[in-house]
């Protein structure tokens, strides 16, 4: 295993990681949001809700920026508000259309820094903000962004459809660095050109339209294994992951990487006969991808390294998000 930490200690660190633990409250909210519409194809547990729109679907998602990130670097927070929303749409095999935002600030100085970051993200990913709401005089600083996207109905990638026997594949751009003000963010995008980023984001759409992946998510704040846990939970499945097969950026330990938002990264499942094609598409589009495990019927996320093995999440008895 990359790094000196034993597997039990690594599992304990990840289970206690705030990027994972703060997701547990999500499931409790669902009782307040009954869904009574024949147009809703998929909702809670997905990176974006899927709404029927003829031969296509509308994809609707929202992200609130973590207060710790706003405090650390408002400009980076503004940039990330665009980045994470665009990724939610890309993860579903779709393309982004437009965004709206709600910005609450205690000072003009903070507002200016946040807006500079948002402007940079808008220009980088070419997705406009077309409206929203401003609170210019709050005692706190907060930023929330919602995004609308589209996808072909026959090629949407859900995170609730992983099946036993499928191969788990992790893909990310390893050419980057930990953000100097927020070490659990890996920046692989801010210094890249639009063409490179569009190619990377387009990998999921190509995979979806070719029918090569069965389930997928963008790797978000819970990190690779936390995100995989969310996908398995909503799919009512488990997985066995070989930690030694996870690609890690140079200069980082495995544990540090597993706690990071990678900037540009996805975790997908594919049938064994399609793995090589999936790896080829990710590689051609500038992402480093590797098969890291198998989906299992037993609802446990097991991790191993060499002869060591442990259970990271027992999804029969505990939850990551509470969405089942």
Q: Cα–Cα distance between 193 and 198 in angstroms, integer?
A: 9
* Domain 7-24+158-314 homologous superfamily, CATH: PurM-like C-terminal domain (3.90.650.10)
Tens-digit pLDDT string for the chain (324 aa): 544 469 999 999 999 999 999 888 888 887 888 888 889 999 999 999 999 999 999 999 999 999 999 999 999 999 999 999 999 999 999 999 999 999 999 999 999 999 999 999 999 999 999 999 999 999 999 999 999 999 999 999 999 999 999 999 999 999 999 999 999 999 999 999 999 999 999 999 999 999 999 999 999 999 999 999 999 999 999 999 999 999 999 999 999 999 999 999 999 999 999 999 999 999 999 999 999 999 999 999 999 999 999 999 999 998 888 876
Instruction: Considering the domain delimited by 47-154, tell me its CATH architecture.
Output: 2-Layer Sandwich (3.30)
Is-above-0.85 flag for pTM? yes
Q: b/e map of 23-56 (b: 16 or more CB within 10 Å)?
A: beebbeebeeeeeeeeeebbbbbbbbbbbeeeeb
The residues, ordered by sequence, that sit 6+ positions from 9 with a Cβ below 8 Å of its Cβ are: none
Domain coordinates in residue numbering, the chain: 7-24+158-314, 47-154
Question: 293 forms bridges with which residues in the sheet?
Answer: 168, 241
């Amino acid at each position: 295993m990359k790094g000196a930490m034993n597997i039990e200690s690594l599992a304990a660190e990840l289970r206690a990681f705030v990027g994972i633990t703060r997701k547990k409250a999500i499931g409790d909210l669902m009782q307040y949001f009954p869904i009574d519409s024949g147009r809703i194809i998929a909702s809670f547990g997905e990176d974006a809700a899927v709404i029927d729109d003829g031969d296509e679907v509308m994809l609707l998602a929202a992200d609130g920026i973590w207060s710790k990130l706003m405090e650390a670097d408002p400009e980076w927070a503004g940039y990330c508000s665009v980045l994470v929303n665009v990724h939610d749409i890309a993860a579903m095999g779709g393309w982004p259309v437009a965004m709206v935002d709600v910005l609450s600030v205690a000072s003009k100085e903070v507002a200016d820094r946040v807006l500079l970051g948002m402007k940079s993200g808008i220009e980088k990913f070419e997705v406009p903000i077309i409206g929203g709401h401003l609170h210019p005089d709050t005692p706190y600083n907060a930023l929330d962004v919602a995004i609308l996207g589209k996808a072909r109905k026959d090629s949407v990638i859900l995170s609730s459809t992983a099946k036993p026997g499928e191969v788990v594949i992790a893909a990310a751009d390893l050419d980057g660095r930990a953000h100097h003000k927020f070490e659990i963010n890996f920046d692989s995008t801010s210094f890249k050109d639009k063409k490179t980023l569009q190619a990377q984001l387009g990998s999921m759409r190509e995979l979806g339209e070719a029918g090569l992946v069965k389930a997928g998510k963008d790797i978000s704040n819970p990190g690779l294994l936390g995100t995989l846990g969310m996908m398995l939970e909503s799919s009512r499945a488990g997985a066995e992951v070989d930690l030694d097969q996870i690609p890690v950026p140079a200069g980082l330990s495995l544990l540090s990487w597993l706690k990071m938002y990678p900037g540009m990264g996805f975790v997908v499942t594919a049938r064994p006969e399609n793995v090589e094609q999936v790896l080829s598409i990710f590689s051609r589009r500038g992402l480093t991808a590797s098969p890291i495990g198998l989906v299992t019927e037993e609802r446990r996320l097991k991790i191993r390294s060499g002869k060591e093995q442990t259970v990271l999440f027992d999804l029969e008895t505990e939850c990551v998000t509470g969405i089942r």
